[in-house]
Structure 1
Amino acid sequence: MEQLLNDNEALIRQITEIVTTGGVNVLLALGILIVGYIVAGAVERAVKRVSERNPRIDKTLATFFASLARYAILAVVFIAVLSRFGVETTSLVAAIGAAAFAVGLALQGTLSNVASGVMLVFFRPYSLGDFVEVAGVSGTVADMNLFTTELTTSDNKTIIVPNGQAWGGVITNFTVKPTRRVDITYSISYDDDIDKAMDVIRAHYEADERVHKEPEFFLGVISHGASSIDIVTRAWTNTADYWGVYFDAMKGIKQAFDKNDIEIPYPHEVQIQKKG
């Protein structure tokens, strides 16, 4: 009888110990969850706030970094909670790593676009509203995120460019600078007066108020062609006025040449026949 009582007391002590330990673990796990959740939120807000203060970091990138920090902390909290209940976290971490590696291989193209998107948003080779040429296509940047860049073409088509292709190729930004140089070459006949033609060209550009005085307008003979003398012009203007200056010059110089009897020659061939 006494032995039975001793066994019951031992069993009760074991049950009490298990319950007490389990209760403590539950309370500790709950505390870790609460503290971890609070810390993750605080770190997320801090990272986002610091990132948004940096002019080189876009809001999209700031949100991405903040979310990345939050979920990294929550992952550590989750592993810590499991360890309180005796779960072998080493095997779990290895399994998660293997799964992440497999997912990374399956989504390497997508992850490449994300990495390129981070680089594009951070280094800012172009911004919303810029007219650019990327991956062999050109248009105005309508939207950009971590995966793609959306361009709107001059004829109002939408082109979606994966960021991996945009970052991996040559990027030409036509509007990032406040001024641009308008380069046009005009051809005149070998029989025309070169100085007269250059005076006519210069008069047109000097009359155009959109052409800057500095840097100074330049023109000069650039080549002796097969059937023409070629005169190059280089005029600086505001980026927004580039095409207006270009189109008006192409039309105005032609009309000025006509008024001054300056010929724009056509390519021609001279055939020489030998007498037999």
Structure 2
Amino acid sequence: MRLLCIFLFLFSAYTWAETEETSAPVTPKQPAEIAQIKTLNKELKALLNESKTSQGSALNVVSLQLINKNEELREVIAELVTRSKENEDAVKPYHSFVLDQVNNQVTFIEEAIAFLTKKVTSDEQALESLGDEQKLLTQKKVQEIRSYVQRLLSQQWTNYHWLSDLGVDTSKQKNVLINNIEHKLEFLSASLTFNSQQEQTLNKQLKAATDSEKGSLQLLHILSERQLTSDLANMQAFIKLADQMSVDTADYKKQIFEQTGNVTNDLLNVAVLLSIARNNLENLSLWVVENAPQMLFKLFVFVVIIAVFRILKNITSKMVKKGVSSPNLRMSQLMQEFFVSMSGKGVFCIGLLIALSQIGLDLTPILTGFGVAGVIIGFALQDTLSNFASGMMLLIYRPFDVGDFVEAGGVSGKVSHMSLVSTTIKTFDNQILIVPNSKIWGDTIKNVTHERVRRVDMVFGIGYSDDLELAEKVFNDIIDAHPMVLRQPEKTIKLHTLNTSSVDYIVRPWVKTEDYWDVYWDVTREVKRRFDEVGLSIPFPQQDVHLHMADAEAANIAKK
């Protein structure tokens, strides 16, 4: 395909080589660019003659040399035009010569564009009848031709500027070229939209296709992707050319951004930003008009479902609370609170999921996300989960309940509140201690007030010289006279230990758990008072110190 372009170029180059020598006057003071142009035209003619006898890769090399040589020629023409613009008198004798060179370039590009456009149309029409592999190759060649056409159009725009600098009115030619570029941009915009939708459709079909269908669909998808890439490249090139012509390309730049998502300097253009904003507002307004009634109805249904399940939550919590509070179940306070809380929250969660499904939200990713999040949170909150597990064990085995006096986790006090994570204990001096359940479950738990009846263990000592029967009588009288002491189980009053300085009695009456400390303090006080009345002593530790001195030492001391 490149060779066809080159042959057309060779024809034009040959024409220039034949005509340029007679069109320029020969003077000793002619500009250096004139001589360069003549030399380049001779070289182009020589390469043309060489191409006629070349074949294969050699012909490709000669063709590439011709293209490069013509580029050199254009650079020299550009320098000469610039000099003519800056100093018209210096280049005036050669004005017609320079003008002929530029007109040769204009004629060549017009013929080349017409030929290549016709070739692209022919190849695209034949594309459908080709095999799969040939389609890919032909598509690549078509893209190469289009790229060359874009390059020629850019050069033609430069040619028109050269003619303007040389005093030729090219406004009509420029307007024709601008209209041509605008037409191509509109066509490319429509093609890009169509091919983008086609690629998305093929991508969806490919995902749902069977193994037997994937082969042909993959090829179609590759062709579609290449066509989409080609459209993007062509549009970007034409946008660049249109910017040189001061054509408004904001909408096309916006389309490129929406298609690729690439942030470029074009987005800093106010017109592009306004176009994107305007398009988004239009899309939003259309979406609101089309979906607002349906969304409002779904929102109404969502609110109604949430309200209904909030009522059901309260009803369920009350019913469960009434059920677990039955004396026959003998549930702990923690277990009651757990069932009441979880039942209400469970009902509300079900209602929330139903409400979300009614507004069109797919619950599968949400539930999957909850599962993944649960694993992650589980690793992050190992200690908390350990406390939770310990709370469940406390809930199941019920070693204590709210209101019990316990010694657990290294602290002692009254249990004021329990949760699945921690236990709140209030000490007798009104301090609040929050103990993690894992620490409580992993240690010894002493429930002081679990039973309804407790034994008060007290020890009282009397002197060795005191009357044992009198002491026992005093103890019995005090215990029997106290109204809070239970008759069953029976009390225990026994001589327990012959201590170093006292004879110790154990006094163990049985009382209700809530009367424990009242009985303890009352009996202790009454024992002291009655012992004083009857003359019984309460011994306390004491030591006798005896000093022994020799007689001689005493006499010496007396003499002194």
Answer whether TM exceeds 0.5 for this pair. yes
Q: 1:217 aligns with which of 491, 498, 516?
A: 491
Query: Which consecutive unaligned segments of at least 5 residues does structure 2 have?
Result: 1-127, 129-197, 206-297, 326-330, 551-560
Question: 2:512 is matched with which residue?
Answer: 238
The yes-or-no answer on 1:58 pairing with 2:336 is: yes
Distance apart, 1:261 and its partner CA = 1.3
**Equivalent-residue separation in structure 2 for 1:222 and 1:95 (angstroms):** 69
The yes-or-no answer on 1:144 pairing with 2:410 is: no
| Distance 1:83-1:237 versus aligned 2 partners, 3 A rule | closer
The one-letter code of the counterpart of 1:175 is T
The yes-or-no answer on 1:252 pairing with 2:529 is: no
**Equivalent-residue separation in structure 1 for 2:474 and 2:440 (angstroms):** 44
Residues 93-132 of structure 1 mapped to structure 2, 5 A cutoff: 99-132=373-406
Distance apart, 1:167 and its partner CA = 2.1
Distance apart, 1:223 and its partner CA = 1.0
Question: 1:25 is matched with which residue?
Answer: none
Distance apart, 1:72 and its partner CA = 9.4
Question: 1:180 is matched with which residue?
Answer: 454
Query: Which consecutive unaligned segments of at least 5 residues does structure 1 have?
Result: 4-10, 19-29
The yes-or-no answer on 1:159 pairing with 2:433 is: yes
The one-letter code of the counterpart of 2:509 is A
| Distance 1:232-1:98 versus aligned 2 partners, 3 A rule | same
Distance apart, 1:233 and its partner CA = 0.8
The one-letter code of the counterpart of 1:223 is T
CA RMSD of aligned residues (A): 4.1
The one-letter code of the counterpart of 1:159 is L
**When the two structures are superposed, what TM-score results if normalisation uses the length of structure 2?**
0.37
Contact 2:455 2:510 in 1 (8 A): yes
Distance apart, 1:50 and its partner CA = 7.1
| Distance 1:150-1:96 versus aligned 2 partners, 3 A rule | closer
Contact 1:52 1:62 in 2 (8 A): no
Contact 2:413 2:426 in 1 (8 A): yes
- SS across alignment from 2:457: strand
- SS across alignment from 2:456: strand
Contact 1:192 1:262 in 2 (8 A): yes
Question: 1:37-82 CA deviation, whole Å, 9 max, x = no partner?
Answer: 9xx99xx99x97679745634232443367569869999xx9xx99
**Bigger RCO (CA 8 Å, 6+ sep):** 1
**When the two structures are superposed, what TM-score results if normalisation uses the length of structure 1?**
0.69
**Equivalent-residue separation in structure 1 for 2:386 and 2:343 (angstroms):** 17
Question: 1:4-37 CA deviation, whole Å, 9 max, x = no partner?
Answer: xxxxxxx9xx99xx9xxxxxxxxxxx9xxx9xx9
**Equivalent-residue separation in structure 2 for 1:51 and 1:118 (angstroms):** 19
Larger Rg: 2
**Mean CA deviation greater in 56-65 or 195-204:** 56-65
Question: 1:226 is matched with which residue?
Answer: 500
Contact 2:451 2:513 in 1 (8 A): yes
| Distance 1:211-1:96 versus aligned 2 partners, 3 A rule | closer
Distance apart, 1:128 and its partner CA = 2.2
**Equivalent-residue separation in structure 2 for 1:217 and 1:92 (angstroms):** 66
Q: 1:203 aligns with which of 477, 480, 484?
A: 477
The structure that is strand-richer by fraction is: 1
Question: 2:97 is matched with which residue?
Answer: none
**Equivalent-residue separation in structure 2 for 1:54 and 1:121 (angstroms):** 14
Question: 1:169-221 CA deviation, whole Å, 9 max, x = no partner?
Answer: 22222222221111100011111111211111111111111111111111001
**Equivalent-residue separation in structure 1 for 2:514 and 2:474 (angstroms):** 25
The structure that is helix-richer by fraction is: 2
**Equivalent-residue separation in structure 1 for 2:468 and 2:384 (angstroms):** 59
Distance apart, 1:96 and its partner CA = 6.3
**Mean CA deviation greater in 118-127 or 231-240:** 118-127
**Equivalent-residue separation in structure 2 for 1:256 and 1:207 (angstroms):** 13
- SS across alignment from 2:486: coil
**Equivalent-residue separation in structure 2 for 1:207 and 1:140 (angstroms):** 30
**Equivalent-residue separation in structure 2 for 1:246 and 1:181 (angstroms):** 10
| Aligned-pair identity (%) | 33
- SS across alignment from 1:58: helix
The one-letter code of the counterpart of 2:463 is S
**Equivalent-residue separation in structure 1 for 2:532 and 2:469 (angstroms):** 16
